[in-house]
Structure 1
Amino acid sequence: MSDAPLTTVPYGRLDADMVARWAALAPEDDGPVWMVNLMSYRERAAYADGRETDLTGREADDRYAPLEVLADIGAEIVLVADVEDQLLGPEPRWDRVAVVRYPSRRAFAEMATRADYRERHVHKEAGMEATIITCAVPIGSPADAMDPDALVDWGEVPHPPTDEDGPVEVLHLIRFHPGRADDEMVRYQDDAALVAVPHGVRIAGWFGIEGTVIGDGRGWDQVRFNTFPSREAFMAVVFDPQRLEAQRSHREVAIADTYTLVLRPVIDRLGASVAEARADGG
């Protein structure tokens, strides 16, 4: 099998030039990155070689999962979650979200040249209808300045986690209007926090986006992950009149395009991975 890098994929536009630049990075110019994957599956897998299969798109992607390859290059899957609801954003409808922390951009670029990775990638091609993969690095958030003692214990919030409605991760993929993000989003965050904190919100990680590895031509600026003790807690914040007014006055002014996804995590080490990187100086 060829060790040439991938230049096209059937499930989105691949920025091959950006990946090629990463492959040439010197170690001192590189460092850890988080690849955020939004995945929409085909109803039935369709292999390029025409083989017959009864696999669904999701089942084909499960066969792709390159766990050994990731472990070999020092990468780690830090979040896998099913999309329970897509509250904002156009088609496609996303089915699953995964986040992988790579030790460097170069490691990600070189992974695609490995024969063992390419052997597995045929399953991803068969299963995937559309994908957005963004390269992200942690940025500051209100949590950095918050006294941990100010956080409300989940046992004391109005809608605590239950067996039927446990914690949810809420993803916001965001593109800002040029020049409008800073002031308007800070105002929105300040107002929204007054509602969200009493309902037990935690910030798992906010990330600035360096580039879109695979997508549909749209650029993105940030991806934010906020954790709530339950879906009911999150929806109470969504429909709070104070937050809705802040959304109309500030958030909608700042944001040009967005997806908001309610996620049910299967694996969730996202916040821990960010904390570990900061402790290591990464």
Structure 2
Amino acid sequence: MATIECTPAALQAAGEALGDAGPVYMVNLVCYRTEAVYEAGSTFPPCSGREAYFQRYAPAFNKVAQGEDYGLFWVGNVHGVLVGSDGEAWDDIVIVRYASFAVLRRILESAAYAEQAAPHRRAALWDWKFIATTQPELPR
């Protein structure tokens, strides 16, 4: 089942698991809608889901997150899933670095995010996986 919402419970659980660990790299597996789907009454002109994500959501997110310690780490187009569930397909992988999980929570839990950025994410995405990662200490 496709989902594009991050629940408060999921944020709480990840925050408890990560504590003050940092930096945190959020891995976004994204599958775009063919055409962005905004709520009734929206004044945004039609566009593709990819356009809504990169031309509307990303700038709105950057505006909301201004002053926070975060940055785009990597964006890549997916050309195939070699090992995964049947029918699993993603359009892009987007990785964003945050100084800590607390930085991400401040952004996502803000009224400005809910008002200015989230509507574009919802319009753009058909499916989304949002994975919190940290860099482990590897044996030498």
Place the TM-score, normalised by the shorter chain, in its bin.
0.7 to 0.9
The whole-number CA distance in structure 2 between the counterparts of 1:137 and 1:72 is 22
CA displacement, residues 55-95 of structure 1 (integer Å, 9 cap, x when unaligned): 11111111100223445211011001111233232334100
The whole-number CA distance in structure 1 between the counterparts of 2:5 and 2:120 is 18
Other-structure match for 2:35: 44
Equivalent of 1:56 in 31, 37, 48: 48
Residue 97 in structure 1 maps to residue 90 in structure 2: no
1:123-202 residue pairs with structure 2 within 5 A?
123-140=120-137, 145=140
Task: Give the CA deviation at 1:16.
Answer: 2.0
Task: Give the CA deviation at 1:15.
Answer: 4.1
Q: Which ranges in structure 2 are unaligned for 5 or more consecutive residues?
A: none
Other-structure match for 1:152: none
The whole-number CA distance in structure 1 between the counterparts of 2:125 and 2:74 is 19
Scaled by the length of structure 2, the TM-score of the pair is 0.78
Aligned length: 131
Matched-pair contact (CA < 8 Å) for 1:40–1:92: no
Q: Which ranges in structure 1 are unaligned for 5 or more consecutive residues?
A: 1-9, 146-282
The whole-number CA distance in structure 2 between the counterparts of 1:11 and 1:50 is 23
Residue 86 in structure 1 maps to residue 81 in structure 2: yes
Q: Which runs of 4+ in 1 moved over 6 A?
A: none
The whole-number CA distance in structure 1 between the counterparts of 2:105 and 2:12 is 7
The whole-number CA distance in structure 2 between the counterparts of 1:124 and 1:31 is 25
Matched-pair contact (CA < 8 Å) for 2:78–2:92: yes
* Structure with the higher fraction of residues in strand conformation: 1
RMSD of aligned residue pairs (Cα, Å): 2.6
Other-structure match for 2:103: 107
Structure showing greater radius of gyration is: 1
Letter in 1 for 2:32: Y
Scaled by the length of structure 1, the TM-score of the pair is 0.41
